[in-house]
Copies of this chain bind each other. A is one copy, B any other.
Amino acid sequence: MVTKTLTRESIAAAALELVDRDGLEALSMRRLADELGVGTMTLYGYFRSKTELLEALMDSAVTVPEVPTLEGHWRERLVLVARGLRAYLESHPALVQIRAQQRLTRPRQFVATELMTRALLDAGLSREEAARAFRVVFTYVFGFVAFSPTTTADVARREVRSALAGLDPATYPALASMPDEAAAAAAGDEQFEYGLELMLDGIEVRAAH
Q: Name A's B-contacting residues (CB within 8 A).
A: 66-67, 96-97, 99-101, 103-107, 110, 113-114, 117-118, 121, 127-128, 130-136, 138-140, 142-144, 146-149, 159, 163-164, 166-167, 171-175, 177-178, 181-182, 184-186, 191, 194-195, 197-203, 205-206
Contacts and interface: CB of A to CB of B under 8 A. Distances in A.
Report whether over half of chain A's contact residues are helix, strand or loop; otherwise say mixed.
helix
A163 B198 contact: no
Contacts of A128: 181, 184-185
Contacts of A127: 177-178, 181
A180 B17 CA distance: 36
A101 B94 CA distance: 11
B118 A166 contact: no
A117 B203 CA distance: 23
B175 A114 contact: yes
The listed residue with most B CB atoms (<10 A of its CB), out of A132, A134, A167, is A132
A114 B147 contact: no
A167 B99 contact: no
A135 B191 contact: yes
Given A67-B172, A198-B206, A181 B130 contact: yes
A181 B138 CA distance: 15
A176 to B, nearest CB: 9
Contact of A100 (B97, B172, B181, B201): B97
A174 B136 contact: no
